[in-house]
Structure formats: structure tokens, C-alpha cells
């Protein structure tokens, strides 16, 4: 039982990380966690640079 819960916890943490990565990538963020990427699609430094190119 403990192992089942433990596996669930690990799976949950991993899924949460993957979901965050997918969300950031969908925003067009080049580097996950980019400090200038927290705003929106049009005004993050990295993102807007890519779009306008």
C-alpha cells in the first residue's frame, strides 16, 4: 500500500512538472522559467523577439 501511494506521489510530481513545461512551451517560452516570460504571449522578451523575426 505504501509503495502504491509512493508511486502515485512520484507520478503526480512528474506529471505536474511535465504539465508546467508544456504550458511554458505553448506560451512560446524558449527557456523554461525565463524571467521575462511570465506576462503574456505578446510581451515576453524572448517570445516577442521570435514572433517578430
Partner 1 sequence: MKVALAGNPNSGKTTLFNAITGKIEHVGNWAGVTIEKKEGDIKKALNVTGVTMTAVDLPGAYSMSPFTSEESVTSEFVKNENPDVIINIVDATNLSRSLFFTTQLLELDIPVVVALNKSDLNKKKKTDIQVSQLSEILGCPVIETVSTSMSGNGLEKLISTVVEVKGQEQKAPFDAKNMDLSNKESVAASDKKRYEFIKEIIARVENKQIHSNRQTKQDAADRIIAHKWLGIPIFAAVMWVVFSISQTHLGPLLADVFVGWIDSFYGWVQGMLGVGASPVLSAILLDGIIGGVGAVVGFLPLIMVLFFLLALLEDCGYMARVAVVMDRFFKRVGLSGKSIIPMIIGTGCAIPGVMATRTIKNERQRRTTAMLTPFMPCGAKLPVIALFAGLFFNDAAWVGTLMYFIGIAIIILGALIVVRITGEKNKRSFFIMELPEYRFPSIKRATVSMLSRAKAFIIKASTIILLCNAIVQIMQTFNWQFQVVAEGAENTSILANIATPFAFLLIPLGFGVWQLAAAAITGFIAKENVVGTLAVVYSITNFIDTEELVLVSGGSDVAGIMGLTSVAALSYLIFNLFTPPCFAAIGAMNAEMENKKWLFGGVAFQFGMGYVASFFTYQIGTLITTGELGSGFLPGVILVTVMIGYVVTLVRKGDKIAEAKMAEAKMALSA
Interface with partner 1 (CB under 8 A): 2-3, 6-7, 9-10, 13-14, 17-18, 20-21, 24, 30-36, 38-39, 42-43, 45-46, 48-50, 52-53
Q: Smallest distance, Å, CB 39 to partner 1?
A: 6
Nearest C-alpha neighbor of 35 from the set 26, 45, 27, 25: 45
Give yes or no for a contact between 18 and 31, defined as CB atoms under 8 angstroms apart: no
Q: Smallest distance, Å, CB 5 to partner 1?
A: 9
DSSP 3-state of 31: coil
Q: Smallest distance, Å, CB 40 to partner 1?
A: 8
Alpha-carbon span 2 to 39, nearest angstrom:
41
Amino acid at each position: 500500500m505504501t509503495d502504491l501511494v509512493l508511486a502515485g506521489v512520484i507520478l503526480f510530481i512528474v506529471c505536474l512538472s511535465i504539465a508546467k513545461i508544456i504550458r511554458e512551451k505553448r506560451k512560446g517560452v524558449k527557456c523554461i522559467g525565463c524571467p521575462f516570460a511570465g506576462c503574456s504571449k505578446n510581451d515576453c522578451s524572448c517570445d516577442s523577439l521570435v514572433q517578430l523575426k
